Structure 1
Amino acid sequence: MKTRYFYDAVDNGFYIEPESRFIPESAIEISVNLYNQFAGIAWPEGKMLGADSTGLPAWVDAPPPTHEELIEITQSERQLLINQANEYMNSKQWPGKAAIGRLKGDELAQYNLWLDYLDALELVDTSGAPDIEWPTPPAVQAR
C-alpha cells in the first residue's frame, strides 16, 4: 500500500496512511515534501505550527508568553545562575576549605563575595518578569 500524508487544520495534526488508525474527514492530503517541511523538525523561533487560509500547514506567529510563563523562565534563569556560582565555588574547593578553617586572605574575601552574590540571587523578585535586574557576579580572579 502506498504511503499517503494528510494534515488536519482542525486539530493541527499530521496523519500518515496506512500507519494512522484514524484520519479525520477534515484532513487534506499533502505531499511528502510539505509533510517534511513541518513534521518532526524544530519550530523556527517565534513561530508555531498552524494552518494557512487554505488549510495547509504553515508557520504562524506564536503568542507571546504569559506572565506566569515569564516568571517560570526567570526562575529557571535564576537557578542556572545559582548553579553556575556553586559550581565555580566548588571548583575552588572553598566550601570544604571554609569548613575546616583553611580559607584565608584573598580566597576568603572572594568566597564571601560569591556568597553575597548567591544571597542577592535568592532575593531577586521574579514576579516582575521579564523586567529583572540581575545582580552582577564577582569578578573572577585568576590564581
Structure 2
Amino acid sequence: MNKIYFSQDPVGFYIEGVSAVPSNAIEVSADIYNEFAGVAWPDGKVLGADDSGYPTWIDAPPPSHDELIAQAEAEKQRLIDETNVWINGQQWPSKLALGRLSEDEKAQFNEWLDYLDAVSAVDTSTAPDIEWPTPPEQPAS
C-alpha cells in the first residue's frame, strides 16, 4: 500500500505515487487518514493541523466581506426568483393584460410589485448588515 501524507500547507492528504507530496508533509496512518477523508466536516470546522502538524478540525475562518456580499447577492436573487414565481403563479400579468384582473387582485399584485422593487433595491455591499424587506401576505388560494 502507498504511504499517506498530510501537509498543513497546502492543507490536505497526499498519497505517495498518486499525487505530488509537498516537502513539508508528514506520514500518517491509514486510521488517521480515514478519520478525515470522505467524512462530513463538522459544522463551523475546516481541516487544519495541530501543533505537531497532524490533521485536526479547526474553527473555520469567518467569511470575508466579498463572501458575505456574494451570499447576500444569492439571497437577493433567490427572493426575486421566488417572487416572480409567486406573481406568475397567480396569473396576474396575463389577467392584467386581458383586463380580467379584479380590484382585489390588482391591489395584491401592486403589493407584490412593491416588494419586488424593494428587494431589487437592496444594497448588498452593506452585507451582513442588510434589512430585507418583508413580503406581503400570501392570500389563501
> What is the TM-score when the length of structure 1 is the normalising length?
0.88
- Greater CA deviation, 126-135 or 97-106? 97-106
Once the two structures are TM-superposed, the CA of residue 130 in structure 1 deviates from its matched residue by 0.8
Pairwise CA RMSD of aligned residues?
A: 1.6
- State the AA in 1 paired with 2:104: D
Aligned residue for 1:12? 11
Task: Encode CA deviations 1:108-140: one digit per residue, 9 max, x unaligned.
Answer: 111111101000111112222111111110001
Where do residues 1-143 of structure 1 align in structure 2 (5 Å cutoff)? Answer: 2-20=1-19, 22-143=20-141
How many residues align? The count is: 141
- State the AA in 2 paired with 1:81: L
Identity, % of aligned positions: 55
Once the two structures are TM-superposed, the CA of residue 19 in structure 1 deviates from its matched residue by 2.4
Q: Name the SS of the counterpart of 1:65 in structure 2.
A: coil
Q: Which runs of 5+ in 1 are unaligned?
A: none
> What is the TM-score when the length of structure 2 is the normalising length?
0.89
Q: Which runs of 5+ in 2 are unaligned?
A: none
